[in-house]
Chains A and B, each alone.
Chain A
Amino acid sequence: MHPPSSPHRYWNRRQFLNHLGGGFGSAALAGLVARQSAAGAPATAPALPAFAPKVRRVIQLFMNGGASPMDTFDYKPELTRRHGELLGPKDKPEGQTGVSGAVMKSPFAFKQYGQSGRWVSSVFPHQAKWVDEMAFLMAMTSKTNVHGPASYMMNTGFLLPGFPCFGAWVSYALGSLSDNLPDFIVLPDARGLPYNQKANFSAGFLPARHQGTLIQAASPRPVPDLFPPDKFAFAGGGADRQARAVLQKMNRQHLTEHPGDSRLEARIASAELAAKMQLSAPEAFDLATESESTRTAYGVGQAVTDDFGRRCLLARRLIERGTRFVQVWSGPQGAVNNWDNHGNIEAELSPIAASVDQPIAALLGDLKQRGLLEDTLVIWTTEFGRTPFAQGSLGRDHNGGSFVTWLAGAGIKPGIAYGESDEFGGKAMHGITQCYDLHATLLHLMGIDHERLTVRTAGVDRRLTDVHGHVIREILA
């Protein structure tokens, strides 16, 4: 057993539920009961919240492809001074797609912002106004320079497929805040899924109900099976209500005849939840009820920002209505329209950065104005950084050596930066953090000790943080 060495008091599940107040409905309880009795389901009960959580919900903004640190938040004047010098490795490092070219300065101008004086490049004029609310991790590293494994690391803590992602762990450990919406929702770029496709949102060896629910925000049917298709005349509307009533009655009768099986009860409870979700989800996904000024603030209606803006606005609506974790992706996999800017940083990074910048600033403003930032955490991150050396003459290659993540909102010390990369921004030097530390910190903020949230599978008590992870106390409020 882990000794209660920390000053935090340990909570039991009941206290935790009470603390959260209403809304913690039968979904989580039904799920929990089902989990305990299912043959073959993980045997370990989820870790109870270890201490009072500061964060109840999380929005993660994931910049797919490897957002360049030295062209966004990690100002490196040395790159300008030594521009053109051949200082890179002679052989192609593992995971880079080409050999390193000469040192390349950022094509963008940097300025200092806010009380904290953070340097931000010209690609992020809107986020720059929020640096005093953010805590930056300036020296994150990855174990790999390849998109697939790197995306797995940032999502699941492992280089290989088959492990539960952060959202699934949170859903497993904490359950729902609401009866009406899934715990964990993923909003992919309208242009496509990220690297690893849906496997980034997998529940791995956890029960399938904890996996990310994929919502195509731009689709007329964002939740595919929320309602029956029109072509089936016998389904929908009043027919649905009647059919559900007959079904529930029959299943209750069956339960009476087959007592003592919580799985049967769980299915009955789930059908009730489904009916509630049918009522609440369309409202949640309907951005038309937002004011014109809010929509404009998020960039909805402007070609550049429309898709990401809509999804940021939707993320706010979802967490407001009880979804615990929303992941908003910027950029699909592939060679274009994302953060994987091999060919030309100036030409490729500018438009993708512009597509997220105003919506992110609007999201922070909106959350703050509504008081949601009090218990909501926003994270901006990516799977790895990029080389300080040119690829070709204008692009940058994959680099797990150093990249930037920022956090803002509940439980976070605002306006600070932790860690530092080397003079070129290619290698983390001080205050080095890995996905394990980020995940440990996020779980900590949600009231969970990352070393205690374990599930035994294939001979190991698996954790989100493997055998690593330190809570980054320097950035905690």
Chain B
Amino acid sequence: MKHALPFTLLTLALAAPGGAEEFFTDRIAPLLKQRCFECHSHESGKMKGGLTLDSKPGWAEGGEHGPAILPGAPENSLLVKMVRWTDADHQMPPKEKLPDEEIALLEEWIKRGAPDPRAALVKPPPDADWWSLRPLAAPPVPGAPDPSLTHPIDRFIRARLAGAALSPAPAADARTLIRRVTLDLTGLPPTPAETEAFAKESAASPLGQDGSSPAWLAVVDRLLASPRYGERWARHWLDTIHFADTHGFEHDVHRPNAWRFRDYVIGAFNQDTPWPRFIQEQLAADTLFPADTRLTAALGFLGAGPFDASAEGTAPAAYEYVDRDDLVTQTMGAFVSTTANCARCHAHKFDPITQDDYFSLQAVFAGVGKGNVAYDEDPATTVQRRQWTTVLEASDTIGPLQPEVLLTAENETLVTQWEAAGGGREIWQTLSPDLYTPAINSVLTRLADGSVLSSGPRPDTETYTLTVSSPPREVSALRIDLLTDDSLPLKGPGRLDNGNLHLSGFEAWIFRAGGAAPEKVGFTRALSDFDQAGYAAPTLIDGDPKTSWAIHPRVGEPHHAILKPAAPLTFAEGDRLVIALQQLQGGQHLLGRFRLSATAAPAETLIAVPAAAQAALLTAREQRLPEDRLALAAAVLQERAREELSRLPAQVLVYAASAANQAARGAILKAPQPRTIHILKRGDLDKPGAEAGPGALSAVAALNARFSPADPQNEGQRRAGLAGWIAHRDNPLTWRSAVNRVWHYHFGRGLCDTPSDFGRMGGVPSHPELLDWLAVWFRDEAKGSLKALHRLIVTSATWQQSSALPPPPASAAQPVTTLAPHRGGPDPQGIDPDNRLLWRMNRTRLDADSYRDAVMAASGRLNLTMGGPGIAHYNASPGPQATPVLDYAGFDWEAPAAPRRSIYRVVYRGIADPFMEVLDFPDMGLLSPTRGFSASALQSLTLFNNPFLLGQSTHLAARVAGTAPAPAEPIRQMFQLVLLRYPGAGELEEFTALAQSAGLPAVARVLFNTNEFLFID
């Protein structure tokens, strides 16, 4: 209804005593409410364009386009422009223009100064008193009428069932139970032998009321101890945190090192790493457990999600913001089942999470970059690496030598041992060249001592080739001495004006007497008495003409280098040694005077002893000057350190995120400390507010929500702070989240059915007391052991219930979809159709991974090799850009690694495997705490026609083909392998007909498509 307001009335209203306020209350407020609140008020929950009109500050501050009303100036007020429908972009309300008289009212009100008594609406923050945030306290276990019902889970469940007048289903039969538990814990079906053995044992000693029997406990413990357990449960965690082996987005490239995190997760589950420790390792292993470098792989958690390489390069600010957001979302969803990211643009609408909290979480991750992080697989290697790196740095001749490292008793012993082994006393025999020719135009002269002097023109580059006609019989190493000479600038040993030289390569060939092709000598080590910074001796044998050994600023004194071949060289009569001294880096850095020599002493004792150390060697040990001792120790230990380091296993890489990963992100190199995080108004990067430090949720009252790291600039400490907050025993979210997640995978549904959201938009637990009891038990009794929790759950009568509905009355000929009530009792389907009270077990469908693995287990093809790089189930060819083209259909399923378990396949984020997709393998752009269910024509076609399935059908048929009489026995065997039972008479008849016309593989194909195989009762 529209009120036409005569102008006179308006005038009267304004003229009345106290008129301004009444005018607003009577005329304007209802108008705003009727016309505008739908999109601009707290009561509707909508603040389109950031504007609210339900308080004075609402319009005074305005939204994205500034103040909506300028009191006294209707012509300049945005609101007036809008309601007048000035042009296409200024039309409010958008659907229908206001009647003229209402516009006039608004104009008049604004003209009068827009009196508005309504104070700012401060929306009270959502109540922190919410089930998931309440402190944990174990509720008492309910009593039971039947004292033999001892299992606490059953006590909680039965109490609720009794309250709803429901009775539990009977226990499932032995075959169902062993299939259920084996698939549940390992993702693989039991073998027929395991099934039969358990059925036999169960017949002899059935499960007790308490849900256990020796046979059952033996099965459960066997499965929990199996490495297959970790492979199964790792998959759940990888779903939860959207881990994949590729980036996703535009440049969806493979991460060849991501798999080390997958293997870490498998290992953590198999070792039963306590839950708090699992949290800490994934968030901050590098900071919290630096000694155990293997755990670096755990940081793959931080690199699990997608990465937009294109945006990182071209739109870095937006990229970093959304990338951190993804990490916050992943971390808080996975560990504490909280949707903190909903507080990015405004305080969380439903949960007590402020924007401050949200940006504090962003600040936690403000210093990490995604990329490969290097580490040692064996922590002992790291200890060695640290030790010898310290020695190497202490003995670096460029800096001051460090006596506190080099002259420890331990290290001096190494020097003594070296001397005892003959170190420093080797004999070098001069190799006087018979031929010595420059490649360009230097003039070479052989001097009386066998050395060679260069003079004449100074070409830009040069190579001297020297031929030694009668080298010694045995040579363990060659040596070049750079010698001073008065003819050289600053006495040399180089020919550049500053006395320096660049020797870029030292190559040697052996010309055998009468031999055809020369043998090139392969050198493995090159060492020197002194290296100019950036010009170290190993460059002599790196084959790169642009790297050289040089000696500036230590000119005017002799230097030398020793080159060790892989094995001692032997020479016979008439053999010649040819040496090329390459000076190819350019700039006239030429050798001035040099001498070649050779030794037969054991190569391992040979080092390039600098002059100072040489002095020590010539003196009795007790009479050596301290500086000479130090020089000698440095020379010996430097070489030893290099040797030791070269022998250490190479470091490996994991795709992860940390500050150490500086190379992956240019910006980090420029600013190695965490970026400054601002609280962004409306989540808009262009509207930065106050700075945010690291922290978490203030709604968890027991814990300090703002971290104070000892070093605020140390980003690792920020992550460690969050790990501590999450893993804290008093964080109720963490413990509830973990036990609920485990419950979800055992029952097909969590006690709270939104495992990553315990907020008001999520589900409410069906059994809050049980959830709390389990959380406290898991924390205090099980000490965070998942295996203990699994054991507790699968030994409950609740978990062991049959999934069948109570049988319908025998006489009723009803359609299968209509459910008859339980005879003599209430209809549980009517009371609790969703089975939230667990009056039976939930039937679940094999997930994509389990289906694929179970097929291969039955066909006998399953390859149980663990770990290592991912197995591609596609043929890749180069794409137009970085992303390759993948061909899944053409993949050869007979390839050796193809039958590995599905956890080991390469999960391509943007180019999903169609076979896995039809079975609801989730989009790994998405955090997937649960798997979906689909039944589609495409799924039917895939399971019926895909080459993988048909190939496995062929293998299964081949596996049983030898049994007689055919085809009955092979069919019976196939039933056993796939369905864990023998066929009935009718089934056998039909499958026999099928086998006779289409072949045995056709039988396997059908069995792999049955609901009996696809579903777990």
Do these two chains interact? yes
Determine whether the beta carbon of B879 is less than 8 Å from that of A192.
Answer: yes
Determine whether the beta carbon of A41 is less than 8 Å from that of B933.
Answer: yes
Bound complex: CA A30 to CA B921 (Å): 20
Among candidates A207, A225, A234, A261, residue contacting B934 with C-beta atoms closer than 8 Å: A207
Tell whether A146 is near chain B: CB-to-CB under 8 Å: yes
Q: Which residues of A contact B308 (CB under 8 A)?
A: 146, 148-149
Tell whether B917 is near chain A: CB-to-CB under 8 Å: yes
**CB 8 Å contact bits of B789-810 with A (1 = contact, 0 = none):** 0000000000000001100100
Q: In the complex, what residue of chain A is closest to B835 when comparing beta carbons?
A: A39
Determine whether the beta carbon of A225 is less than 8 Å from that of B945.
Answer: yes
Determine whether the beta carbon of B817 is less than 8 Å from that of A39.
Answer: no
Q: Which residues of B contact A161 (CB under 8 A)?
A: 248-249, 306, 909-910, 923, 925-926
- The smallest beta-carbon distance between B637 and chain A, in angstroms, is 51
Q: Known contacts A39-B844, A204-B923, A458-B757: does B314 contact A229 (CB below 8 Å)?
A: no
- The smallest beta-carbon distance between A73 and chain B, in angstroms, is 19
Bound complex: CA A269 to CA B946 (Å): 19
Tell whether B932 is near chain A: CB-to-CB under 8 Å: yes
Tell whether B715 is near chain A: CB-to-CB under 8 Å: no
Q: Which residues of A contact B829 (CB under 8 A)?
A: 260
Tell whether B734 is near chain A: CB-to-CB under 8 Å: no
Bound complex: CA A125 to CA B211 (Å): 77
Determine whether the beta carbon of B953 is less than 8 Å from that of A234.
Answer: yes
Q: In the complex, what residue of chain A is closest to B1000 when comparing beta carbons?
A: A234
Tell whether A476 is near chain B: CB-to-CB under 8 Å: no
Among candidates A191, A193, A207, A228, residue contacting B950 with C-beta atoms closer than 8 Å: A228
Tell whether A266 is near chain B: CB-to-CB under 8 Å: yes
Bound complex: CA A238 to CA B994 (Å): 11
Q: Known contacts A225-B942, A270-B939, A430-B87: does B318 contact A144 (CB below 8 Å)?
A: yes
Q: In the complex, what residue of chain B is closest to A334 when comparing beta carbons?
A: B880
- The smallest beta-carbon distance between B797 and chain A, in angstroms, is 21
**CB 8 Å contact bits of A11-32 with B (1 = contact, 0 = none):** 0000000000000000100110
Among candidates B315, B912, B917, B1010, residue contacting A254 with C-beta atoms closer than 8 Å: B1010
Determine whether the beta carbon of B998 is less than 8 Å from that of A239.
Answer: yes
Q: Which residues of B contact A259 (CB under 8 A)?
A: 805, 808, 816-817, 819
Determine whether the beta carbon of A333 is less than 8 Å from that of B880.
Answer: yes
Bound complex: CA A417 to CA B764 (Å): 50
**CB 8 Å contact bits of A213-247 with B (1 = contact, 0 = none):** 11000000101111111001111001110111011
Q: Which residues of A contact B1005 (CB under 8 A)?
A: 234-235, 243
**CB 8 Å contact bits of A341-374 with B (1 = contact, 0 = none):** 0000000000000000000000000000000000
**CB 8 Å contact bits of A266-278 with B (1 = contact, 0 = none):** 1111110110111
Q: Which residues of B contact A148 (CB under 8 A)?
A: 249-250, 308, 310-311
Most chain A beta carbons < 10 A, residue from B919, B936, B941, B942: B936
Tell whether B762 is near chain A: CB-to-CB under 8 Å: yes
Tell whether B947 is near chain A: CB-to-CB under 8 Å: yes
Determine whether the beta carbon of A196 is less than 8 Å from that of B932.
Answer: no
Q: Which residues of B contact A97 (CB under 8 A)?
A: 314
Q: Which residues of B contact A39 (CB under 8 A)?
A: 748-749, 753, 842, 844, 930, 933
Q: Is the interface of B mostly helix, strand, loop or mixed?
A: loop
Q: Which residues of A contact B919 (CB under 8 A)?
A: 208
- The smallest beta-carbon distance between B15 and chain A, in angstroms, is 36
Among candidates B248, B350, B1002, residue contacting A243 with C-beta atoms closer than 8 Å: B1002
Q: Which of B815-859 contact A (CB under 8 A)?
A: 816-817, 819, 829, 842-845
Bound complex: CA A145 to CA B313 (Å): 12
Q: Which of B71-126 contact A (CB under 8 A)?
A: 87-89, 94-95
Tell whether B883 is near chain A: CB-to-CB under 8 Å: yes
Q: Which residues of B contact A41 (CB under 8 A)?
A: 932-933
Tell whether A249 is near chain B: CB-to-CB under 8 Å: yes
Bound complex: CA A179 to CA B322 (Å): 41
Q: Which residues of B contact A255 (CB under 8 A)?
A: 816, 1011
Q: In the complex, what residue of chain A is closest to B755 when comparing beta carbons?
A: A40
Determine whether the beta carbon of B250 is less than 8 Å from that of A207.
Answer: no
Q: In the complex, what residue of chain B is closest to A33 when comparing beta carbons?
A: B817
Tell whether A34 is near chain B: CB-to-CB under 8 Å: yes
Q: Known contacts A161-B248, A209-B938, A233-B999: does B1011 contact A193 (CB below 8 Å)?
A: no
Q: Known contacts A40-B932, A146-B308, A198-B912: does B322 contact A162 (CB below 8 Å)?
A: no
Tell whether A456 is near chain B: CB-to-CB under 8 Å: yes
Among candidates A198, A263, A274, residue contacting B944 with C-beta atoms closer than 8 Å: A274
Tell whether A461 is near chain B: CB-to-CB under 8 Å: yes
Q: Known contacts A34-B935, A258-B804: does B1011 contact A251 (CB below 8 Å)?
A: yes
Tell whether A47 is near chain B: CB-to-CB under 8 Å: no
Tell whether B150 is near chain A: CB-to-CB under 8 Å: no
Q: Known contacts A146-B314, A246-B994: does B95 contact A473 (CB below 8 Å)?
A: yes
Determine whether the beta carbon of B935 is less than 8 Å from that of A266.
Answer: yes
- The smallest beta-carbon distance between B873 and chain A, in angstroms, is 13
Determine whether the beta carbon of B1011 is less than 8 Å from that of A264.
Answer: yes
**How big is chain A's contact interface, by range?**
35 or more
Q: Which of A247-304 contact B (CB under 8 A)?
A: 247, 249-251, 254-256, 258-271, 273-274, 276-278
Among candidates A144, A198, A243, A461, residue contacting B910 with C-beta atoms closer than 8 Å: A198
Tell whether B187 is near chain A: CB-to-CB under 8 Å: no
Tell whether B940 is near chain A: CB-to-CB under 8 Å: yes
Determine whether the beta carbon of B936 is less than 8 Å from that of A227.
Answer: no
Bound complex: CA A204 to CA B922 (Å): 8
Bound complex: CA A418 to CA B748 (Å): 50
Bound complex: CA A431 to CA B842 (Å): 53
Q: Known contacts A146-B314, A161-B923: does B880 contact A192 (CB below 8 Å)?
A: yes
Determine whether the beta carbon of A199 is less than 8 Å from that of B938.
Answer: no
Tell whether B881 is near chain A: CB-to-CB under 8 Å: yes
Tell whether B1001 is near chain A: CB-to-CB under 8 Å: yes
Tell whether A197 is near chain B: CB-to-CB under 8 Å: yes
Q: Which of B711-758 contact A (CB under 8 A)?
A: 744, 748-749, 753-754, 756-757
Q: In the complex, what residue of chain A is closest to B1014 when comparing beta carbons?
A: A267
Q: Which residues of B contact A334 (CB under 8 A)?
A: 879-881
Q: Which residues of B contact A145 (CB under 8 A)?
A: 314-315
Q: Known contacts A265-B817, A334-B879: does B314 contact A247 (CB below 8 Å)?
A: no
Q: Known contacts A196-B910, A269-B935, A333-B880: does B817 contact A40 (CB below 8 Å)?
A: no
Q: Known contacts A199-B925, A234-B953: does B944 contact A246 (CB below 8 Å)?
A: no
- The smallest beta-carbon distance between B743 and chain A, in angstroms, is 12
Bound complex: CA A293 to CA B758 (Å): 61
Q: Which residues of B contact A203 (CB under 8 A)?
A: 923
Tell whether B356 is near chain A: CB-to-CB under 8 Å: no
Bound complex: CA A269 to CA B934 (Å): 12
Tell whether B981 is near chain A: CB-to-CB under 8 Å: no
Tell whether A459 is near chain B: CB-to-CB under 8 Å: yes
Among candidates B339, B926, B1010, residue contacting A162 with C-beta atoms closer than 8 Å: B926
Tell whether B333 is near chain A: CB-to-CB under 8 Å: yes
Among candidates B242, B250, B339, B991, residue contacting A146 with C-beta atoms closer than 8 Å: B250
Tell whether B384 is near chain A: CB-to-CB under 8 Å: no
Q: Which residues of A contact B947 (CB under 8 A)?
A: 229, 232
Bound complex: CA A334 to CA B11 (Å): 68
Bound complex: CA A287 to CA B48 (Å): 49
Tell whether B918 is near chain A: CB-to-CB under 8 Å: yes
Determine whether the beta carbon of A432 is less than 8 Å from that of B89.
Answer: yes
Q: In the complex, what residue of chain B is closest to A274 when comparing beta carbons?
A: B940
Q: Known contacts A196-B250, A229-B947: does B934 contact A34 (CB below 8 Å)?
A: yes
Q: Known contacts A459-B339, A460-B342: does B911 contact A267 (CB below 8 Å)?
A: no
24 residue pairs from A and B, CB less than 8 Å apart:
A30-B935, A39-B748, A43-B753, A144-B315, A144-B318, A149-B308, A163-B926, A193-B911, A196-B250, A199-B923, A204-B923, A208-B918, A224-B888, A225-B946, A234-B954, A242-B993, A243-B1002, A255-B1011, A259-B819, A271-B940, A274-B940, A332-B880, A430-B89, A460-B761
Q: Which 6 residue pairs of A and B lie closest in terms of their CB atoms, listed nearest first?
A: A334-B880, A161-B925, A459-B339, A162-B926, A40-B930, A38-B933
Besides A246-B1006, A254-B1011, 7 other A-B contacts (C-beta < 8 A): A27-B937, A30-B935, A38-B933, A40-B930, A97-B314, A146-B250, A271-B1009
